[in-house]
Amino acid sequence: MKDETRVAQAGLNSGDEKGAISAPIYQTATFRHPGAGQSTGFDYSRTDNPTRRWLENEVRDLEHGADACAFSSGMAALTAVFFLFRSGDTVLLSEDLYGGTWRLVEEVFTPLGVRGRYIDTSDLRAVEAAYDPSVKGLLIETPSNPGMRISDLKALAAFARQRGLISIVDNTFLSPLRQKPLDLGADLVVHSGTKYLAGHNDTVCGLVVAREPALAERVRFLQNSSGSILGPFDAWLVMRGLKTLAVRIDRQEENARKLAGWLRAHPAVKAVHYPGLSDHPGKAVHDAQASGPGAMISFRTHDGPSALALIDAVKVISYAESLGGVESLITYPLTQTHAALPEALRLRTGVTDNLLRFSVGIEAFEDLRDDLEQALSHCKKG
Ligand SMILES: Cc1ncc(COP(=O)(O)O)c(C=O)c1O
């Protein structure tokens, strides 16, 4: 079955005896057992819930994994992944990554003895140079957030495999409809399901998908033990959103391609970072491992005040923190998504006061372009 069909029919084959097209919501904490020593297959909703399981199975199949677990947020999913490591372990991470992941590693796991080392994972030699025997994991964002740098997933997964590391890819920016890291050799995929998977900015969710059953079982154990599950109603909302993922991402990407080209030609725009542009430094690697450039764009105005002026001026596009939904959003990484990063890391990864992150939605291209045109009229030219 093609991905487009799979997502359109998410939850359809729930096996509901009444034939519901939309999978039922099992809003229950616990399940009545038929008799002593017997179970319907479900005992308690922290451990397993049919609605959550349907969502998990859909995402598992889209990512070509052995199993998937749905969490209460992307950060809960990443927390479960970091629970795989022990005190004394080091995890290599893309230096250009979501600020919340940096905060989790530095302020939650480092005091527990699990350390992060931040490197440019688009440079394989830098990754090799950062290795020492304490390194047990590698976490990659590609395209990275917010720099849109591209890392070679196949080469990095092979590097990880040779050294016995767990390789993890945060696939939030592209979704499994554009990139399938497990097929390229990664061990785990993480999603903020809040973004493209749910797609409507109406719920918060996370997912972890594992390629091998043993690792999947460990993640499920950690989830059940720590309790960070997605509730049944939210699982249903994500599954409903998932049904339109294919058409949403096609439309968002089409808008993004046009807007990236248009932005680049605008005199008030200093630079555009988007893997759909022919001169993006990572384009060849991206094209080899992903089926499209996605709909996330970063761009730079000529100075900081211009970026703030644009934020104040947009009307159709909302100034808000998140991405991947049907509504277009502009984010200011310096004070929003990447506020937690130390200044040195921010400067190294280009998170400066003139950087804007643009999550392109499904609105009419002309309305988005005209909104940017009027907003950019408040910005410094050239
Ligand atoms: C790439 C990436 N990973 C993880 C997260 C965390 O996800 P959540 O906000 O669902 O906890 C985010 C949130 O913005 C993100 O952009």
What pTM was estimated for this model as a whole? 0.98
Ligand 1 pocket: which of 59, 75, 204, 237 to mutate (most atoms <8 Å of CB)?
A: 75
- Are 96 and 111 contained in the same domain? yes
Return contacts of 333-341, CB within 8 angstroms, 24+ apart.
Answer: 333/99, 333/146, 333/298, 333/357, 337/98, 337/99, 337/100, 337/145, 337/146, 338/98, 338/99, 338/146, 339/99, 340/99, 340/100, 340/102, 340/103, 341/99, 341/102
- Are 236 and 255 contained in the same domain? no
> Which pLDDT belongs to residue 307?
98
- Are 237 and 268 contained in the same domain? no
- Give yes or no for residue 15 having a pLDDT over 90: no
Return contacts of 47-51, CB within 8 angstroms, 24+ apart.
Answer: 47/224, 49/229, 49/232, 49/235, 50/14, 50/24, 50/26, 51/23, 51/24, 51/25, 51/26, 51/232, 51/233, 51/235, 51/236, 51/239
For residues 336-344, average pLDDT? 92
- Are 201 and 74 contained in the same domain? yes
> Which pLDDT belongs to residue 12?
87
> Which pLDDT belongs to residue 268?
98
Last residue of a domain, one of 185, 220, 242: 242
Point out the catalytic residue in the list 98, 118, 196, 332. Answer: 98
Q: What is the pLDDT of residues 85-111, one digit of tens each?
A: 999 999 999 999 999 999 999 999 999
Q: What is the pLDDT of residues 164-216, one digit of tens each?
A: 999 999 999 999 999 999 999 999 999 999 999 999 999 999 999 999 999 99
- Are 198 and 251 contained in the same domain? no
- Is 382 part of a structural domain of the chain? no
Distance CA 274, CA 287 (A): 12
Residues lining ligand 1, Cβ inside 6 A: 73-75, 98, 100, 141, 145, 170, 172, 192, 194, 204, 206, 337
Domain that holds residue 232: 3-242
Strands (E), the chain: 67-71, 90-94, 115-119, 135-141, 166-170, 188-192, 206-210, 269-273, 296-301, 318-319, 329-331, 355-359
- Are 265 and 347 contained in the same domain? yes
Closest protein CA for atom 6 of ligand 1: 74
Last residue of a domain, one of 196, 220, 242: 242
Work out how many domains the chain is built from and give that number: 2
- Are 98 and 57 contained in the same domain? yes
- Is 82 part of a structural domain of the chain? yes
- Cα–ligand 1 centroid distance for 199 (angstroms): 13
- Are 204 and 329 contained in the same domain? no
Last residue of a domain, one of 242, 271, 288: 242
- Are 57 and 101 contained in the same domain? yes
> Which pLDDT belongs to residue 287?
98
CATH code assigned at 324: 3.90.1150.10
- Are 198 and 315 contained in the same domain? no
